[in-house]
Structure 1
Amino acid sequence: MLNVEEISERISNRKAKEVYELITRQKTVSKIDLLDQSGMTVSTLTRLLEELTSQGLILESGFGASTGGRRPILYEKNPAYAYIFGLEISRTLSKLVLVDLGMNKLDGISWTMTEVMSPDVLVPLIVQEAQRMLGKHGIPISDVLGMGIGAVGPVDRINGFILDPSYFQAKGWRNVDICRLLSRELGIPAMLDNGANTAILAESWHQRSRSFKHLLYIHAGVGLRSSMVSQGKVIYGAVDMEGSVGQMIIQTDGVPHRNVTGNYGALESYASLYAIEKAAKSALKQGRSSALLHMIDDPEQVTYTHIMDALKKNDPLAVEIVTEAATYFGIGLANLLNILHPEKVIIGGPLITGSELFFQTATQVAIRKTYYYPAYQVVFSKGKLGDEALAIGAAVMVMDQLVKL
C-alpha cells in the first residue's frame, strides 16, 4: 500500500503548510491579510508565496481593493493542482466521486448495495470506474493525490480495515483490508475513516469561513451514526464508536434491539429505517387502514419507500408513524445537546432527506427538551452537501494531508 505520508511531503516545511492552509480556508486573500494572520515577516512570507506559486499549489488571482497605495495581489488555492477520489461505502449504497482540490465534483457514480455486492464484487467496480473517470477527464494518475474512503464503522482507520459492520446485505464485509486493496489496484495512497467523520469533515470544510467551532453530525438511516468536530478537528475516542449513538437508552424497559448485543430501549429501535418499517408492519397486521394497503399484498412487504409514498399523500398512519419516530429521535438529540453543547447540528441520511416532517418534528422536540434554552441557541441544518457529504468528506480527508506535519 502506498504511504499517505507522500501527500504531506508535497509541501516542504511547516511554515509553507501554514501559509497554504490559511489560503485554502479563504476564497481569496491578500499578502497584507496573510501577514496579519500568520505573524510572519514580509521576507519570509514573500519567499513562501513564491515557493507555493512555483509549485502550482496557489495562484495569483488578481488585485484587491486599494487602501491608498498599490492594489494588493490576491492569492487563492489552485484547484487544478491535483485531484482526489472520494468513496462512500454504506449499507444501502456506495458512491465514488472525483473532485479537484476545490472540492468541485468532476464525476461520480453510485452502486446499490444488494445481497451480491460483496467486497470481491465492489472493489473491481470501483477500480474500473476510477480508471474510466481519469481517462474521460484526461487526468494522469500522477496528478491524483489519493483516495479517501468513508465507510460504515467500526473501522480501523490507522491500518485501513473495515472491521465488522452490521446489516450489510452481502457477505464478506468483515475485516476487509480496503485501503490496501484499492491502493494496490490504482497505484495511489488510500485513507479510511468512518462515514460520519468524513461527512462532518465535508460540511465543516464547506462552511470553513463561518465561525462555528463545535459541530455535531448525525446520520439517520438503517442505523444512527454520529461524529463531532471541534476547532476544525474531528474528535476521536479510544475506539471507533461511530454507531454508539444508536445504543443510547431512552426507555430502560423498552423493546429489544434487533441485534442481540444491543441495548433494550435503545434509540435506534425507535428512530431508524428498521424501526419505522417495523411499526408500519405491526399496525397493518393489527388491521389499521392505510394507503399502504394499496401498495402491497402483505404487511411484511412494506418498505421505507412505501411509507414515504404514503406520507406524501398525507396518509394518517404514515404521518403517525413518522411523527412518533421523529419524536424519539428528538429526545435522543436533546440528550446529545445537553451533554456536548454544539453550536450547530447537521443531520443527514435517508430519514432526513426522505421527510421534512421528520426533520421539523425532531428538531422542535430537541429544542423543547434542551437545558438552558433559550439562552443556549443551537443551529440545526440538513447540511449543504446532502447525499454527497460522505464521499466529498473522504476526499477532504486526503486533501488535509497536504498540511499535516
Structure 2
Amino acid sequence: MPTSPVWGSRSKTRRMVLDLIRAAGTISRVELATSSGLTPPTISDVVRDLILEGLVVEAGRGASTGGKPPTLLRLNPAARYSVGVLLERNACVIVVIDLTGRQVGRTSFHGTAQMPPEQALPFLADRVTALLDTAGVARDRVLGIGLVSHGPQDRPAGRLLTPQPTGTWYGYPVGPRLAEILGVPVLLDNDAAAAAIGEYWLGAVDPRSTYGCLYMSTGIGGGVVVAGEVYRGSSSNSVEIGHISVDVHGDECPCGNRGCLENYAGPAVVVRQALAIPALAGRLALDPDGTDFLTGFTRIAAAANGGDTQARHLIDQSARYLGHAAVTITALFDLDTIVLAGPSFAVAGPIYRTRLQQEVNRRSFARRAHPVRVVLSVSGSDAAAIGGAVLVLQSELAGNRPTEPRGTVASRATISR
C-alpha cells in the first residue's frame, strides 16, 4: 500500500525535532539545539529538510539576546491532517485536525452503531469524505484515521471484541474494512485512551504529569498517561475502570465480572433509576422504551443543575460511585491529575468534578505526599474523537506509524470515492 510521504524514511532525529517544534509552538534553531542535545549543524540540516518538505515554516524573528535576532520556526498547520472518528453505541462524532492539533472540521450523527457493520461503515466513510470536502482538505495530506470505540479490542487486527451494540459487531474487522473503503491507514483504539492522550497533546496537562482520564459516555472507561505515553498493558485493554467491582455480591455484568462500577454509576443506570420515579420521569419526558441513554441522562443532569432535588440525588449517587473509582485509579497509578472527559460530563461535569475532588482529597493513599487535581477536559464531549485524530498525529511525529490492520489492502486514491 502506498505510504504517506512523511512516513517513508524519517530518522529518529527528524521526528524529535518535529515534536519539539510542535510542543513549543514557535522555537529558534538555537533553542532546538539546547532542548534536543543535538549540534547546531545537525539542527540546521534537519530544519532545512523539513522546510523543503513544507512541514515547517519560518515565523519571524525572536527577541535578540545581544546579537542577531533568531529566526523562529513553527509547524505548517496545513501540511498534514488527520481524522478522528468516535463510534459510540448511540452516536458518532467525526473531527478533522491539522498538523498542530487545531480542529478544522466536525460532524456528528446518531444511529450508526445500530446498523450492521457492512451497512454502517460505508455510511461512515461517506460522512468522512463529505467532511473532508467541506473542510477543503486535500486527500494526499490526510495521514490516517483514528477510529475510537469501546473495548475490549484486538487493536493490531482492528477488531472489536464485544457484542455491543449488537452481536454483528463482535470480531468484525472494523479497522481493515474502513481502511479498505477510504484508502487510508486506520488506527483502532480505545475511546478513553484516546481522550487521555488528547489532553496531553493539546497542552491541557503538565507534560511531566502522570495523569488519568475517566471517560463517561454511554459507558465508563479509563486511561492513564505516563510521560506522554498511554499505559497499554499486555493487550491494550488496560484501565477499564468501568469494570472494577464495587460490590462483590452484585449482579453479573456482561463483561463476566460482578458488581461493576458501570452498572452503578453509568448513564443508563441513572436513566433507569429516574424512570422508576414517575414524577421525575414525567417532568423530564423520559422515554421508557428509548435506547438513547445519553439524551435522557443529559435531561437529568440539566434538571440537577437547575435545582431538582430528585434529579440531583441521582447524579450525586452516581458521582459518589465514580469518586470510588477516582480513588482507586489514583492509588493504583499514583496520579497527580484526573481528567473527566466524554459527553456525559458536558452538562453534569461540575457536579462530578466537585464530588470527585472531595473524595480524592479525603481518601487518596498518597494525599499527604502530593495533591490530586480533578479537572474537566478541554475537549468536552468531543474528547475521544479529537484524541483519535491526535493518536494519528502522535504516531506520525513520534515515528510510530499507525499500524495498518492485518489484511488491509487499499489504495489511497479511493478516498475520493
TM-score, length basis structure 1: 0.89
Look up the match of 1:317: 310
User: Are 2:346 and 1:379 aligned?
Assistant: no
Look up the match of 2:406: none
Taking only aligned residues, the RMSD between alpha carbons, in angstroms, comes to 2.5
- Does the 8 Å contact 1:257/1:269 carry over to 2? no
Secondary structure at 1:66 match in 2: coil
1:139 CA drift (Å) = 3.1
Look up the match of 1:357: 351
- Does the 8 Å contact 2:87/2:147 carry over to 1? yes
- Does the 8 Å contact 1:292/1:307 carry over to 2? no
Look up the match of 2:405: none
- Does the 8 Å contact 1:25/1:208 carry over to 2? no
Look up the match of 2:251: 256
Structure 1's 134 and 352: CA in aligned 2 closer, same or farther, altered over 3 A? closer
User: In structure 1, how many angstroms separate the alpha carbons of the residues matched to 2:122 and 2:220?
Assistant: 29
1:101 CA drift (Å) = 0.8
- Does the 8 Å contact 1:328/1:362 carry over to 2? no
- Does the 8 Å contact 2:30/2:40 carry over to 1? no
User: In structure 2, how many angstroms separate the alpha carbons of the residues matched to 1:322 and 1:332?
Assistant: 15
The aligned length equals 394
Look up the match of 1:287: none
Q: Pick from 63, 66, 69 the counterpart of residue 64 of structure 2.
A: 66
User: In structure 2, how many angstroms separate the alpha carbons of the residues matched to 1:262 and 1:336?
Assistant: 18
Alignment of 1:131-142 (within 5 A): 131-142=129-140
User: In structure 2, how many angstroms separate the alpha carbons of the residues matched to 1:53 and 1:391?
Assistant: 30
User: In structure 1, how many angstroms separate the alpha carbons of the residues matched to 2:142 and 2:383?
Assistant: 20
User: In structure 2, how many angstroms separate the alpha carbons of the residues matched to 1:307 and 1:268?
Assistant: 17
User: Are 2:357 and 1:368 aligned?
Assistant: no
Structure 1's 121 and 354: CA in aligned 2 closer, same or farther, altered over 3 A? farther
- Does the 8 Å contact 1:197/1:234 carry over to 2? yes
Alignment deviations for residues 263-295 of structure 1 (CA, whole Å, 9 cap, x no partner): 1x32222211122123333454xxxxx443344
User: In structure 2, how many angstroms separate the alpha carbons of the residues matched to 1:163 and 1:297?
Assistant: 31
Alignment deviations for residues 344-385 of structure 1 (CA, whole Å, 9 cap, x no partner): 110122442231323322331232111242432011111101
1:213 CA drift (Å) = 2.5
1:400 CA drift (Å) = 1.9
Alignment deviations for residues 173-231 of structure 1 (CA, whole Å, 9 cap, x no partner): 11121222122222211111111111111111011783442120111232210111101
User: Are 2:149 and 1:151 aligned?
Assistant: yes
1:299 CA drift (Å) = 6.6
- Does the 8 Å contact 2:340/2:374 carry over to 1? yes
The 10-residue stretch of structure 1 (82-91 or 306-315) with the greater mean CA deviation from structure 2: 306-315
User: In structure 1, how many angstroms separate the alpha carbons of the residues matched to 2:334 and 2:310?
Assistant: 35
Structure 1's 276 and 7: CA in aligned 2 closer, same or farther, altered over 3 A? farther
Q: Which residues of structure 1 form unaligned runs of 5+? A: 285-289
- Matched AA of 1:175: G
Structure 1's 300 and 121: CA in aligned 2 closer, same or farther, altered over 3 A? closer
Secondary structure at 1:270 match in 2: helix
- Matched AA of 1:58: V
Alignment deviations for residues 303-336 of structure 1 (CA, whole Å, 9 cap, x no partner): 4244234324422221112111211211221122
User: In structure 1, how many angstroms separate the alpha carbons of the residues matched to 2:343 and 2:133?
Assistant: 33
The 10-residue stretch of structure 1 (22-31 or 293-302) with the greater mean CA deviation from structure 2: 293-302
- Does the 8 Å contact 1:201/1:234 carry over to 2? yes
User: In structure 1, how many angstroms separate the alpha carbons of the residues matched to 2:286 and 2:206?
Assistant: 51
Secondary structure at 1:159 match in 2: coil
Look up the match of 2:407: none
User: In structure 2, how many angstroms separate the alpha carbons of the residues matched to 1:116 and 1:15?
Assistant: 46
User: Are 2:288 and 1:266 aligned?
Assistant: no
TM-score, length basis structure 2: 0.87
Secondary structure at 1:236 match in 2: coil
1:242 CA drift (Å) = 4.9
1:258 CA drift (Å) = 4.7
User: Are 2:244 and 1:233 aligned?
Assistant: no
1:300 CA drift (Å) = 7.0
Secondary structure at 2:24 match in 1: coil
User: Are 2:398 and 1:400 aligned?
Assistant: no
1:132 CA drift (Å) = 2.1
User: Are 2:212 and 1:219 aligned?
Assistant: no
User: In structure 1, how many angstroms separate the alpha carbons of the residues matched to 2:203 and 2:303?
Assistant: 35
Look up the match of 1:27: 25
- Matched AA of 1:330: G
Structure 1's 33 and 294: CA in aligned 2 closer, same or farther, altered over 3 A? closer
1:128 CA drift (Å) = 1.4
- Does the 8 Å contact 1:95/1:108 carry over to 2? yes
Structure 1's 97 and 347: CA in aligned 2 closer, same or farther, altered over 3 A? same
Look up the match of 1:278: 272
Structure 1's 191 and 379: CA in aligned 2 closer, same or farther, altered over 3 A? same
Structure 1's 18 and 161: CA in aligned 2 closer, same or farther, altered over 3 A? same
The 10-residue stretch of structure 1 (200-209 or 26-35) with the greater mean CA deviation from structure 2: 200-209
User: Are 2:285 and 1:292 aligned?
Assistant: no
